[in-house]
Amino acid sequence: VCNTLSNSATISDEYKLHQLSPYVGKLKSFTASAIVSRFSDPGDLIVDPFSGSGTIPLEAKLLGRSTFSSDVSDYAKVITLGKLSAPDDIRTASDRLMRLIVLAGREPMPDLRRVPAWVRSFFHPLTLKESIQFADVCLRLREYFYLSCLLGILHHQRPGFLSYPSSHLTPYLRDKKFPQGDFPDMYEYRDYRPRILKKVERALSNGYLRKTVENQGLKHEFRRSSIDRLTWPEKFGAVITSPPYMNALDYGRDNRLRLWFITRQESHRVDDRNISSRVKFESAMEVMARESARGLRVGGFLIIVIGELVDRGRQANTAQIARDVFNRNEGISFVSEELNPIPDIRRARRNCIAVKDEVLLIYKKK
Ligand SMILES: C[S@@+](CC[C@H](N)C(=O)[O-])C[C@H]1O[C@@H](n2cnc3c(N)ncnc32)[C@H](O)[C@@H]1O
């Protein structure tokens, strides 16, 4: 069976909360919403072991499901928990933000000699010091929504952002395109306070605050873990996830500046733990099949959205590896497949490794 998921809704219709901070390889929120509604019931516990920017957990929450999500990346942790803990009224949000700003102002001034030169190269020194103070307070108080807002305005070339001119998705300085001599205002001090207030308001706009979420008895849990070490919940209603396409994306390198603010370490550690080979990918799919066969309720779905990868001319068919592994497991049975072509806007890099199509693999607990 091969259908095509509808792609008619556009990114401008989605809740701005999905755009809290950029994430390479993010799933479309409409895809996540359609899958969660079709393959689970209100009140179900949804498991997403590769949560990334938390698209599936957020849509599941908005549809009245409990969530258990996990990811190996600290950035994924901050942004997933940031989305799940977003305030539900604007007054509470701005009061809390003001309080955090006051606390940040009382933090010791960071010593920039301890900050790596590549991080310093992105910011005016005072902007950097104040941003570190704010990040420190958020980290200490586990205020992941406000920390995600800071990360979401960390680098870009627009006036609402904090860095010197830079790209947004991945951090590359654009000082050749915008030399300081010709664009002096792009290199001046930038006050994070009015900018983060605007970001908070933007994140909660677009109808999100009017969306009433039936929260009774629902729980949202996140574990930062690689899939091979994850302890799954006892019982769950559905597994819905989009695994990494082997080595198509470097989640650590691409998010290195935001990760530095969270961990104060170099980000290659994240890529070391990423699924980077066929063997690792296969064993991750084995975990998914085994845990689904064990913990899913009878008739519950295992759904993965996965790319058919073209690796510099060599076909490395990730979907086929997943199919082979799932078909070998006797506790789950194949239901169907659907094709979901990725619009060009989602293709992060050109002339590099490309993901051709997304396929939805649908399995069921016997
Ligand atoms: C395709 S992305 C998920 C995107 C997510 N659905 C979203 O909308 O943002 C895959 C995720 O797998 C994570 N990942 C890579 N290797 C992992 C591993 N061994 N264990 C757990 N997570 C891993 C990456 O950090 C990345 O966030």
pTM of the predicted model as reported, rounded to 2 decimal places: 0.91
Which one, of 139, 15, 169, lies nearest residue 86 by Cα?
15
Tens of each residue's pLDDT in the chain, 366 residues: 334 444 445 556 788 999 999 998 899 999 999 999 999 999 999 999 999 999 999 999 999 999 999 999 999 999 999 999 999 888 999 999 999 999 999 999 999 999 999 999 999 999 999 999 999 999 999 999 999 999 999 999 999 999 999 999 889 999 999 999 999 999 999 999 999 999 999 999 877 766 666 666 899 999 999 999 999 999 999 999 999 876 556 777 888 999 999 998 876 555 566 666 788 889 999 999 999 999 999 999 999 998 765 555 555 678 889 999 999 999 999 999 988 765 444 444 444 445 557 889 999 999
Q: How far is the CA of 25 from the centre of ligand 1 (A)?
A: 8
Using a 6 Å CB cutoff, which residues line ligand 1?
Answer: 23, 25-27, 50, 52-53, 55-56, 71-73, 76, 226-227, 242-244, 251, 273-275
Q: How far is the CA of 234 from the centre of ligand 1 (A)?
A: 22
SS3 71: strand
Which ranges constitute the DSSP H helices of the chain? 29-39, 55-62, 74-84, 90-105, 117-120, 125-141, 144-152, 192-203, 251-254, 256-263, 268-273, 278-295, 318-328
Which one, of 20, 16, 11, 13, lies nearest residue 196 by Cα?
20
Instruction: Return the best residue to mutate from 21, 29, 33, 50 for the ligand 1 pocket (most ligand atoms within 8 A of CB).
Output: 50
Secondary structure element (H or E) that encloses residue 70, with its range: strand 66-71
**Cβ atoms of residues 144 and 203 within 8 Å:** no
Which one, of 10, 11, 31, 30, lies nearest residue 19 by Cα?
11
